Amino acid sequence: MPEHQEIEWKESWRDEYLKWLCGYANAHGGILFIGKDDDGKVVGIQGSKKLLEDLPNKITNALGIIADVNLRTDGGKYYLER
């Protein structure tokens, strides 16, 4: 599945990506993957379990919405899906 208007891949989390989530919330929705490279290959993320706990709070505090964040694994590497 290639990147397009409703799918974005990022290798690591940055708080500036909250703007992507805001755009998805105000449009037709979308999925942000953290821990995938520009080709969609899983590269994994460090501190995935902590980010899994912190990210929903960041989203709620910044955007005032509740968002599910899911921890996924592929080839022994973890990535997040929101």
Sort strands 77-81 and 70-74 into parallel, antiparallel or unpaired.
antiparallel
pLDDT at residue 69, as a whole number: 95
- Distance of alpha carbon 33 from its chain centroid, rounded? 4
Q: In what order do the strands lie in the sheet with 7-10?
A: 7-10, 31-34, 77-81, 70-74
Residue with tokens 């755009």: 23
Model pLDDT for residues 43-71, shown as the tens digit of each residue? 999 999 999 999 999 999 999 999 899 99
For domain 7-81, the CATH architecture is 2-Layer Sandwich (3.30)
Query: What was the pLDDT predicted at 73?
Result: 97
**What angle do helix axes 18-26 and 48-63 make, rounded to 10 degrees?**
60
> Average of pLDDT values for 26-46?
93
pLDDT of residue 71: 97
pLDDT of residue 25: 87
Where do the DSSP E strands lie in 1-76? 7-10, 31-34, 70-74
